């Protein structure tokens, strides 16, 4: 029998890595609470029709699709947004707006595996449904900023654009929606020449090329230049004003590093307004991204409902935390192993371990029945702080021995003082 490996693009997450994931998810949950987002769990499997409706070719071509035993065409979710939009048009249809929903879990895309790109990966996802106000876009950026901050990531920068500006220009020049999507796909991949080849009008090509050349952290200057470029394009002008309003709100409410890139596009097709991604300087891959999608919910048969949201790539955040040597330890402080010297004191030793756990101390029990020397050696190797040694003689005197594994000292203490001694 050969030994089995994980399927290509799928990973086991062990120890340190698993810890960074838990750390990131619990921080995302904290941010959800801070911003008043309610947690929802949706299925990993959804109908193919739902998942492929508005996601765009990029995602459609990478889905894990299969037929279930009942003959239904289904797929593993490649993201959360479609599922949440489905919820908002069905079970949550009559809930007061805005709906603010938070999810976390695995999603699946048949991407080419490499560092930071997997076929099963984790996202924390926030959707804010029902508001077309720039405050809503602002909230999504602010909560992403808050997540990066609470994770203690350093020097992260937001890249910000607005699909309404690009679509506004293309629409006015008569480019149909399908061609617009094809152009945006290429712009997302930075294949600008190929993108511009799909545009017939010389003026439109020139305007787009000028947008492509525009980027920088002096966002006010960039907005002024965009305004000049789109002066003849009504929809693009409105989109630029909207972007300006969002930027003013964001920058007046928090400290944030951002660059504005008006030709920035994202792989998903449903965006209609603001789009953004967040990066750290050490990595070229986005740690998260999102934007406004005002037409997705009506495409799913709901009432026309504006919405904005984002997802954070937990696998990539874990790489970022490791790259920046962040402290993501989830430990409860000092770690203890309780070792009974003989079988006769096993029950008492178990009770002592339990007593420590009740008081919030991480207390392991010697589970291999090893002799003292071997048990201590093992505890030492695994970096535990203390061994609590339970012996018959000490028990009679209502004491135990605490061995400090770091200092290699030991003291006998009354059982009643065990917790205090370990805590201090
Ligand atoms: P997305 O940009 O496709 O957006 O994915 C969000 C994040 O997931 C990315 O920024 C990245 O960190 C991570 N990610 C994407 N692909 C992979 C991969 N193959 N391996 C590891 N991590 C990956 C969305 O999914 C939208 N649903 C976000 C959104 C919500 N927009 C509005 N609402």
pLDDT tens for 164-196 read 999 999 999 999 999 999 999 999 999 999 999
Evaluate if residue 351 carries a pLDDT over 80.
Answer: yes
The mean pLDDT of the chain is 95
Question: In whole angstroms, what is the distance from residue 253 CA to residue 230 CA?
Answer: 28
Residue 331 has pLDDT above 80, yes or no: no
Distance (angstroms) between ligand 1 centre and the Cα of 57 equals 15
What is the pLDDT averaged over residues 148-155?
A: 96
CB 181 within 8 A of CB 252: no
pLDDT at position 333: 85
Report the C-alpha gap between 78 and 76 in whole angstroms: 6
Query: Do 6 and 81 form a contact (C-beta atoms < 8 A)?
Result: no
Asked if 46 and 77 touch (Cβ cutoff 8 Å), the reply is: yes
Of 228, 221, 186, 188, nearest in space to 206 by CA: 228
Measured by CA distance, the residue closest to atom 10 of ligand 1 is 288
Tokens of 101: 């929903």
Smallest CA separation from ligand 1 atom 29, residue? 310
Angstrom distance (rounded) from CA 390 to CA 407? 20
Give residue 424's pLDDT.
80
DSSP state of 343: G
Which positions ≥6 away from 178 have C-beta within 8 Å?
none
The beta-carbon contacts of 400-409 under 8 Å, at least 24 apart in sequence, are 400/352, 403/376, 405/376, 405/379, 405/380
* Residue labelled with tokens 């997540």: 147
Q: What is the pLDDT of residue 2?
A: 83
Cβ contacts of 311 within 8 Å, gap of 6 or more: 79, 80, 81, 123, 124, 125, 126, 288, 289, 290
pLDDT over threshold 80, residue 216: no
List all residues whose CB is within 6 A of at least one atom of ligand 1: 79, 81, 109, 111, 116-118, 121, 123, 125, 127, 267-268, 286-291, 293, 309-311, 313, 315-316
Q: Which residues lie below 8 Å from residue 355, measured CB to CB, with a gap of 6+?
A: 418, 419
Binned at pLDDT 50, 70 and 90, residue 329 comes out as confident
Instruction: State the closest ligand 1 atom to the C-alpha of 266, by its place in the atom list counted from 1.
Output: 2
Please check whether residue 63 is in contact with residue 110, taking contact to mean a CB–CB distance below 8 angstroms.
yes
- 289 Cα: distance to centroid of ligand 1 (angstroms): 6
* Residue percentage of the chain with pLDDT more than 70: 100
24-37 residue pLDDT tens: 999 999 999 999 99
Q: What is the mean pLDDT of residues 117-144?
A: 98
Which of the four pLDDT bands, split at 50, 70 and 90, describes residue 248? Answer: very high
Q: How confident is the model at residue 5 (pLDDT cuts 50, 70, 90)?
A: very high
Ligand 1 mutation target, pool 8, 189, 283, 313, most atoms within 8 A of CB: 313
pLDDT of residue 211 exceeding 90: yes
Pull the structure tokens for residue 180. 């617009």
342-347 mean pLDDT: 96
Average of per-residue pLDDT across 195-215: 93
Q: What is the pLDDT of residue 3?
A: 93
| CA-wise closest residue to 388 among 420, 413, 416, 423 | 413
Helix 163-172 to helix 234-253 angle, to the nearest 10 degrees? 170
pLDDT tens digits for range 372-421: 999 999 999 999 999 999 999 999 999 999 999 999 999 999 999 999 99
pLDDT confidence tier of residue 367, bands split at 50, 70 and 90: very high
- Assign 106 a pLDDT band (cuts: 50, 70, 90): very high
Q: Dihedral angle at the C-alpha atoms of 324, 327, 328, 333, nearest 10 degrees?
A: 170
Task: Report, as an integer, the average pLDDT of 263-269.
Answer: 92
Q: Which atom of ligand 1 is nearest to the CA of 80?
A: 27
Task: Please say whether the beta carbons of 160 and 259 come within 8 A.
Answer: yes
pLDDT score recorded for residue 217: 76
What average pLDDT does this structure show over 69-88?
97
Residue 313, phi then psi, degrees to nearest 5:
-85, 105
């Amino acid at each position: 029998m050969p030994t089995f490996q994980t399927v290509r693009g799928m990973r086991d997450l062990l120890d340190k890595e698993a810890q960074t994931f838990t750390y990131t998810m619990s921080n995302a949950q904290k941010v959800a609470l801070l911003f008043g987002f309610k947690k929802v769990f949706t299925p990993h499997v959804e109908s193919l029709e739902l998942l492929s409706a508005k996601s765009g070719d990029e995602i459609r071509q990478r889905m894990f699709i299969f037929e279930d035993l009942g003959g239904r065409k289904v797929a593993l979710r490649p993201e959360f947004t479609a599922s949440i939009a489905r919820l908002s048009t069905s079970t949550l249809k009559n809930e007061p707006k805005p709906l603010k929903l938070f999810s976390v879990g695995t999603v699946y895309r048949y991407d080419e595996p490499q560092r930071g790109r997997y076929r099963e990966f984790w996202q924390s996802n926030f959707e804010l449904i029902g508001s077309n106000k720039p405050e809503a876009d602002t909230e999504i950026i602010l909560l992403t900023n808050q997540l990066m901050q609470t994770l203690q990531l350093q020097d992260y920068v937001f890249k910000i654009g607005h699909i309404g500006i690009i679509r506004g220009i293309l629409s006015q020049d008569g480019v149909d929606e399908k061609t617009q999507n094809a152009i945006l796909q290429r712009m997302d991949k930075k294949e600008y020449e190929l993108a511009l080849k799909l545009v017939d009008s010389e003026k439109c090509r020139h305007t787009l090329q000028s947008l492509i050349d525009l980027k920088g952290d002096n966002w006010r200057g960039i907005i002024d230049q965009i305004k000049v470029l789109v002066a003849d394009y009504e929809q693009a002008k409105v989109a630029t004003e909207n972007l300006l309003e969002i930027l003013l709100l964001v920058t007046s409410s928090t400290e944030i590093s951002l660059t504005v890139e008006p030709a920035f596009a994202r792989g998903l097709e449903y965006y209609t307004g603001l789009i953004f991604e967040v990066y750290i300087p050490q990595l070229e891959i986005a740690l998260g991204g999102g934007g406004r999608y005002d037409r997705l919910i009506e495409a799913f048969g709901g009432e026309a409902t504006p919405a904005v949201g984002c997802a954070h790539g937990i696998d990539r955040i874990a790489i970022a935390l490791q790259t920046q040597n962040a402290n993501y330890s989830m430990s409860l402080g000092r770690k203890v192993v309780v070792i009974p010297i003989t079988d006769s004191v096993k029950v008492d030793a178990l009770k002592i371990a339990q007593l420590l756990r009740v008081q919030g101390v991480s207390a392991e029990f010697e589970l291999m029945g090893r002799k003292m020397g071997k048990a201590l050696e093992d505890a030492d190797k695994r970096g535990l702080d203390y061994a609590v040694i339970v012996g018959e003689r000490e028990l009679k005197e209502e004491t135990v021995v605490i061995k400090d594994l770091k200092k290699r000292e030991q003291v006998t203490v009354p059982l009643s003082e065990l917790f205090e001694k370990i805590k201090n």
